[in-house]
Homo-oligomer: A and B are copies of this chain.
Amino acid sequence: MLTDYETRLQAYMEGFITPERKERMLQVLAQRTRYAVCVLEDLFDPRNGSAVIRHCDALGIHELHAIENVHHFKSDTQVDLGTAQWLDMRVYRKPSGGGPVSVKARRKALQTASGGRVPPPASQTPAVLASLKERGYRIVATSPHADDDSLPETLDLASGPVAVVFGTEKHGISEEAREAADIFMRIPMVGFVESFNLSASAAIVLHVLSRRIREEGLPWRLEADDAERVLFEWVRRTAPHAESLVQRFDKENGKGS
């Protein structure tokens, strides 16, 4: 539920959004789901992160978790086309802070992670996946080499919501993600190459799941309270000159009033 302050702020800010824009938001909102959520583990290439952000928006997958372990998660608005603002994106920054990571620091972290003397930075993966499990998600690890596994088309969706984990470009999902996984899933491949690039894997899996979720009579829609809050966030983030509007509203009305 929105607080009284939030309800009034939203009403105020909606005054600055065209009716067509509001209508479009409601239309997209009605197609958003958290029945499948996406988890990106330690991506390296900003193009991949951005591409997945765009896939999620296009497919209505509203919740995207980006875990930093060794690499700094960055996205490129040239690729994501500004879609990040329409998602519930949760970036788990490395403990060392969120600033840009130098090439030198990255190299050192990589050396460290691959068996140097300094202990590798603690993985944030277990905590993120544990918290998803607490919320009722089953953890689906994507892995091209898994044997005993599901396909996107055959994955059990009826038993409850799923959090699909995609690993780093080079090494795939981490040992920690593997341990936390409830289900292993692969995309069938019949060629010489043994993997898709990360953005392609995510596109295929999320497309198939988004389609299946909507077709298989599952409770995929956002709950009313959740949808209300998502709309509030969208209006607050994307109204023209949003920040100044919030300041003006607070000044005129008092934040706590």
A197 touches B57 (CB 8 A): no
Partner of A83 from B59, B60, B191 at Cβ < 8 Å: B191
Identity of the chain B residue whose Cβ is nearest the Cβ of A27 in the assembled complex: B190
A196 to chain B: closest residue by CB: B58
The 8 Å CB contact of A60, one of B59, B190, B200, is B190
Cβ contact within 8 Å between A193 and B60: no
Q: Number of A interface residues, CB 8 Å?
A: 37
CB proximity to B under 8 Å, residues A185-215? 187-197, 199-201, 203-204, 207-208, 210-211
Q: Are A190 and B81 touching (Cβ within 8 A)?
A: no
**Bound CA span A170–B134, Å:** 43
**Residue A55 at the chain B interface, CB threshold 8 Å:** yes
Contact of A191 among B51, B60, B153, B194 (CB under 8 A): B60
Q: Do residues A190 and B153 form an inter-chain contact, with CB atoms below 8 A?
A: no
The majority secondary structure among interface residues of chain A is helix
Considering the chains assembled together, what is the distance between the CA atoms of A153 and B207 in angstroms?
A: 11
A31 near B197 with CB under 8 A, answer: no
Contact at B203–A196, with CB atoms within 8 Å? yes
Q: Does A24 contact B (CB under 8 A)?
A: yes
3 closest pairs, A vs B, by CB?
Answer: A31-B190, A200-B203, A57-B191
Q: A residues bordering B, Cβ < 8 Å?
A: 24, 28, 31, 47, 51, 54-60, 79, 81, 83, 86, 153, 187-197, 199-201, 203-204, 207-208, 210-211
- Please name 6 further chain A to chain B contacts, defined as beta carbons within 8 Å, in addition to the given A58-B190, A199-B203, sorted by A numbering: A24-B192, A31-B191, A54-B200, A58-B191, A59-B191, A207-B208
